[in-house]
Amino acid sequence: MKNSPFCTKCGVPLKEDDKFCPVCGAPVAKVTREEFSVSASNLVDRVKELLHEGNVTRIVVKDEKGKPLLEIPATIGVIGTVLAPWLTALGVIAALATSCRIVVERRE
């Protein structure tokens, strides 16, 4: 399953061949995807680290079988108290799962 990229300015889903966001007109940056395996006990801390790196546009948490459990759009405005519900959901996932995979999209 290949997911479409998101606008780094407004968060709207983009088509793979878009050069500009159809909603806000922002230029579309090239996005790379990385995947990490983490234990459930390290899930929340690892996601916090990734969000603080600044160039992350989206984080998808998957279970051991690759099924998406949570998708976090990490647009520029997502900081502080807005992250609290996402981190609470991550805590619940960490309590239920033994290991997870994190897919990280970064803008270049």
Look at the alpha carbons of 84, 73, 29, 68 in this order and tell me if their dihedral is positive or negative. positive
* Residue 21 lies inside a defined structural domain of this protein: no
pLDDT single digits (tens) 29-43: 777 889 989 887 888
Could you report how far apart the first and last alpha carbons of the chain are, in Å?
Answer: 22
Q: Which domain holds residue 72?
A: 31-107
* CATH label of the domain that carries residue 35: 3.30.1490
- For residues 76, 77, 81, 83, the Cα torsion angle rounded to the nearest 10 degrees is -40
Number of independent structural domains in the chain = 1
To the nearest whole number, what is the mean pLDDT of the chain? Answer: 78
* Residue 78 lies inside a defined structural domain of this protein: yes
pLDDT single digits (tens) 58-76: 888 898 888 888 888 776 4
Q: Provide the pLDDT for residue 3.
A: 56
Q: Are 10 and 21 in contact (CB under 8 A)?
A: yes
SS3 content of the chain, % helix, strand, coil (to 5): 30, 30, 40
Residue 1 confidence (pLDDT) above 50: no
For residue 46, which phi and psi values (nearest 5 degrees)? -65, -40
Q: Are 106 and 55 in contact (CB under 8 A)?
A: yes
Q: Provide the pLDDT for residue 66.
A: 87
* Residue 51 lies inside a defined structural domain of this protein: yes
Residue 84 confidence (pLDDT) above 70: no
